[in-house]
Amino acid sequence: MKNQVQLITYADRLTGSGLPVLKQMLDGPLVGLFSGVHILPFYYPIDGSDAGFDPIDHAQIDSRLGSWPDLKALGEGYEIMADLIVNHASGQSPEFLDVLENGTASKYWSMFLKEQDVFPNGITDEEAAAIFRPRPTSCFTPKTLASGEVVNFWTTFTDNQIDINVETEAGKNYLDKVLNLFANNGVKIIRLDAAGFAIKRAGTSCFMTDEAFAFIKQLSKQANEMGMETIAEIHSHYQTQIAVAEKVDRVYDFALPPLILHTLFTQNVDALVSWLTIAPRNCLTVLDTHDGIGIVDAGPEGEKPGLLNAAQVDNLVEQIHENSNSQSRQATGAAASNVDLYQVNCTYYDALARNDLDYLTARAIQFFSPGVPQVYYGGLLALHNDMALLDSTNVGRDINRSYLTPEKVDIQLQKPVVKALSKLIKLRNESQAFNGAFSLQGADSLLIMEWENQQHTACLKIDFETHLIEMTFADRKGAKRFNIADLLK
């Protein structure tokens, strides 16, 4: 993977069309900004109950977006990242419909995880309470077979997302089919979606079990042998991220987004510095994604202290709500139909009260942090919360999943903050310093982040007390110094 900025986007929501127009956009108005693109689920259908993360056919590109040859053509110029939806398939998938029709006689019977597979003698209340669940409802959904028998299927996320038993031949064959399509059609990086839930065991939280760790490691090895890298997508306590990082090519630094917000809100860098001192170096950095702003990644878990304490987390969440004029409150937790109750749904730009300087400062910290930076399309264009879409769907995450057109993109690209961010992206891409060694200093209101690669250096210095925000890039030809505010001119 190139150490340059990547784009995260839906093919349709950014372009108003599909893969061919996405390629035209990357080659045109976005040229020079991104070396790779994470295309969010493009499988059939893209407009299911979870915006493509509940595929009816994981092996078919939705015809409204294009075809596998279209994806391969895009991959000739950009590193493509795609989601392998490891944990579940749609309740309308041909495989699950066959299970409903034929029961135990279906060749896919073993592909889907059932309560009895993990709890053959039934589950106790104590065991049920121990299961980690992103929603407050039961992790099982009763489904009635054609025979009339009612079976409890495991549904970690929604009633329409039936968990796959990845330990069976049917489950393995399902994932192998998708892996082969990826390898043959230009995909270079695979995001292992919700892999932490992949293998459940009685007597555990059924999340990030020892067996799940081993599964992730083996799946990564398989992908590597096919010429692809893997990224583990796991929201959890920061110590879990450190452990997972040792078993895959890369992990997400999901602790970074809330810590940067905390730093900007409090003008104190201590929590951020503590994390960057120990954070995995083989990571992807993000501020915003198609999901919300993760909170669990920086907070405490049970008796384990977090990077932020409970009071700091509460203050962080409340400040986001205040900055967004309570729009995020309307989209978060029980206020809307949310898959994950541990994230705040809000654009990152609105979380910072649409303050251009704070937003660019946040991006500068992201770009100078260890890892390969990714920028979500909403963040690239400094979009506001999409309250109209939220009102029409009542899906909390839709507040940050706007539908655009090329004309709307062109308008947003003319905003001063977006032009400034584009300049910042190019500075990050063009400096060879970021392929070298990282060093960090900071306490209270002062943060200094430096990179050195032989004669190439890059330094970000922020003093929140004096409002100094300065970048310096140097090579054999000399040094260039920028004040972040100058990028807005």
pLDDT category, 345, cuts 50, 70, 90? very high
Rounded mean pLDDT, 105-118: 98
Q: Is 192 annotated as a binding residue?
A: yes
Is it the case that residue 356 has pLDDT exceeding 50?
A: yes
Backbone angles phi, psi at 6, to 5 degrees: -115, 155
Backbone angles phi, psi at 276, to 5 degrees: -65, -20
Q: Is 329 annotated as a binding residue?
A: no
Angstrom distance (rounded) from CA 231 to CA 284: 8
Look at the domain 94-162 and name its fold.
Oligo-1,6-glucosidase; domain 2 (3.90.400)
Continuous segment of H or E residues that includes residue 447: strand 446-453
Look at the domain 437-488 and name its fold.
Glycosyl hydrolase fold (2.20.220)
Angstrom distance (rounded) from CA 406 to CA 462: 36
pLDDT category, 6, cuts 50, 70, 90? very high
pLDDT digits (tens, 9 = 90+) for 443-481: 999 999 999 999 999 999 999 999 999 999 999 889 999
pLDDT category, 429, cuts 50, 70, 90? very high
Q: List all residues 6 or more positions away from 478 whose beta carbon is below 8 Å from its beta carbon.
A: none
Is it the case that residue 332 has pLDDT exceeding 90?
A: no
Least trusted range by pLDDT, from 119-128, 243-252, 315-324? 243-252
pLDDT digits (tens, 9 = 90+) for 157-174: 999 999 999 999 999 999
Is it the case that residue 336 has pLDDT exceeding 70?
A: no
193 noted as active-site residue: yes
Q: Is 50 annotated as a binding residue?
A: yes
Q: List all residues 6 or more positions away from 58 whose beta carbon is below 8 Å from its beta carbon.
A: 43, 85, 89, 174, 177, 178
Q: Is 167 annotated as a binding residue?
A: no
Least trusted range by pLDDT, from 64-68, 264-268, 290-294? 290-294
* CA-wise closest residue to 217 among 249, 252, 172, 188: 249
Is it the case that residue 306 has pLDDT exceeding 50?
A: yes
Q: Taking all residues of the chain, what is their mean pLDDT, rounded to a whole number? A: 94
Q: Is 290 annotated as a binding residue?
A: yes
Distances (CA, A) of 25 to 20, 74, 413: 9, 11, 12
Percent share of the chain, pLDDT over 90 = 86
pLDDT digits (tens, 9 = 90+) for 19-47: 999 999 999 999 999 999 999 999 999 99
The domain spans of the chain are 6-86+168-435, 94-162, 437-488
CATH class of segment(s) 6-86+168-435: alpha beta
Pairing of strands 140-144, 250-253: unpaired
365: which 2 tokens?
A: 């910290």
pLDDT of residue 335: 58
Angstrom distance (rounded) from CA 103 to CA 144: 10
- Choose the catalytic residue: 54, 163, 193, 398: 193
Angstrom distance (rounded) from CA 295 to CA 330: 17
Q: Is 88 annotated as a binding residue?
A: yes
pTM of the predicted structure, to 2 decimals: 0.94
Least trusted range by pLDDT, from 78-82, 209-213, 425-429? 209-213
Angstrom distance (rounded) from CA 130 to CA 357: 44
Per DSSP, 110 falls in state G
Burial of 197 (0-12, 13-18, 19+ CB in 10 A): buried
Angstrom distance (rounded) from CA 342 to CA 397: 12
- Choose the catalytic residue: 233, 253, 297, 358: 233
Rounded mean pLDDT, 185-190: 96
pLDDT category, 267, cuts 50, 70, 90? very high
Distances (CA, A) of 114 to 55, 104, 130, 145, 281: 19, 12, 17, 13, 38
Distances (CA, A) of 280 to 78, 137, 181, 300, 370: 25, 33, 30, 19, 8
pLDDT digits (tens, 9 = 90+) for 362-411: 999 999 999 999 999 999 999 999 999 999 999 899 999 999 999 999 99
